[in-house]
């Protein structure tokens, strides 16, 4: 493999990946199709995950309001997931935050619309009879 070191472990030795391999192994084994995991596949998956997270964070920082505040926020990540076609698959995982009062208002309006539509349908059914 590559001789590039990214992090250091507890003993101060350099490591190829920063993410804990044991956790990644557990996540990979949670899939019913996976029976055994090759060490090389584990390390490559960990490295690919690190690179993906780094790219997502960098993209969100550059295209969000993070540059102005010199900080990356959840809303930057959520906006990236919603607006970027590349990261669209993350939209369900990184939804935009809304206030509970706003959500309850949306639910109430949705129920009222559904009740109004149900009322229209029953009126139409009675008229046809």
Q: How far is Cα 113 from Cα 117, in angstroms, rounded to an integer?
A: 6
Interval 42-93: pLDDT, tens: 999 999 999 999 999 999 998 887 777 788 888 889 999 999 899 999 988 8
Query: Quick one: average pLDDT of 114-127?
Result: 66
User: Under a CB-based contact definition with an 8 Å cutoff, are residues 19 and 28 in contact?
Assistant: no
76 beta partners: none
Three-state SS for 14?
strand
Interval 24-47: pLDDT, tens: 999 999 999 988 899 999 999 999
User: Under a CB-based contact definition with an 8 Å cutoff, are residues 33 and 7 in contact?
Assistant: no
Predicted local confidence at residue 22, as pLDDT: 92
Predicted local confidence at residue 40, as pLDDT: 93
The hierarchical CATH code for the domain 21-117 is 1.10.20.10
Interval 6-19: pLDDT, tens: 455 555 555 788 88
Task: Please count the helices (runs of H) and the strands (runs of E) in the chain.
Answer: 5, 2
Predicted local confidence at residue 11, as pLDDT: 58
**Domain extents for the chain?**
21-117
Q: How far is Cα 100 from Cα 91, in angstroms, rounded to an integer?
A: 19
Q: Is the pLDDT of residue 126 over 60?
A: no
Query: Quick one: average pLDDT of 96-124?
Result: 81
Of residues 49 and 119, which shows the higher confidence score?
49
């Amino acid at each position: 493999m590559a001789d590039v070191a990214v992090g250091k472990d507890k003993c101060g030795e350099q490591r190829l990946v920063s993410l804990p391999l044991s956790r990644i192994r557990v996540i990979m084994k949670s899939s019913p199709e996976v029976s055994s995991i090759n060490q090389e596949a584990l390390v490559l998956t960990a490295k690919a995950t690190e690179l993906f997270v780094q790219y997502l964070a960098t993209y969100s920082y550059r295209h969000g309001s993070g540059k102005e505040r010199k900080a990356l926020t959840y809303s930057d990540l959520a906006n990236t997931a919603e607006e970027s076609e590349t990261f669209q698959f993350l939209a369900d995982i990184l939804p935009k935050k809304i206030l509970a009062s706003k959500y309850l208002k949306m639910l109430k309006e949705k129920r009222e619309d559904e009740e109004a539509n149900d009322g229209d349908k029953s009126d139409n059914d009675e008229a046809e009879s």
